[in-house]
Structure 1
Amino acid sequence: MAKTLEQERLAFEEDARRLDERRRRLEEKEREQAITTIEKSGLLKLEAKRLAALTDRIKALGIDAVEKRLAA
C-alpha cells in the first residue's frame, strides 16, 4: 500500500498504463488472428477489384444478414 496519496496515485496510473498496454497487445493478436483466418479462407487470393466489391456488398447488407444468407 502506498504511503502517500501521491504515491498511491502514481501506482494507480502505472497500473492503468500496464492495463492499456495489455489491451493493445490483445487487440493486435486478435487482428493478426483475423487476418490469418481470412488468408486461410482464400479471400486474399481474390483480385483487388473483386475483393473490394465483395466487402462493399457485405457492408451494405450487414454482417448479420450475410451470415444468415450463408447459413441458409
Structure 2
Amino acid sequence: MAKTLEQERAAFEADAQRLEERRRKLEEREREQAISAVEKTGLLKLEIKRLTAIVERVKSLGIDEVEKRLRA
C-alpha cells in the first residue's frame, strides 16, 4: 500500500496505463484474427472492384441484414 496520497495516485496511474496497453494489444490481436478469418474465406483474393462492391453493399444493408439474408 502506498504511504502517501501522491504515491497511491501515481500507482493508480501506472496501473491504468498498463491496463490501457493490455487493451490496445488485445484489440490488435482481435484485428489480426479478423483479417486472418477474411483471408481464409478468399475475399482478399477478389479483384479490388468486386471486393469494394461487396463491402459497400454490406455497409448499406448493415451486418444484421446481411447475416439474415445469408441464413435464408
Q: Same fold (TM over 0.5)?
A: yes
Map 1:23-42; keep pairs closer than 5 Å.
23-42=23-42
Q: How far, CA to CA, are the matches of 1:45 and 1:55 in structure 2?
A: 14
Moved over 6 A (4+): none
Paired residue total: 72
Distance 1:53 1:39 in 2: 17
In the aligned structure 2, how far is the partner of 1:36 from the partner of 1:5?
46
TM-score (norm 1): 0.99
> Match for residue 47 of structure 2?
47
Q: Which residue is equivalent to 1:16?
A: 16
Unpaired runs of 5+ residues, structure 1, are none
Deviation at 1:43, TM superposition (A): 0.3
Q: C-alpha separation between the residues in 1 aligned to 2:69 and 2:37?
A: 20
Name the TM-score, length of structure 2 as normaliser: 0.99
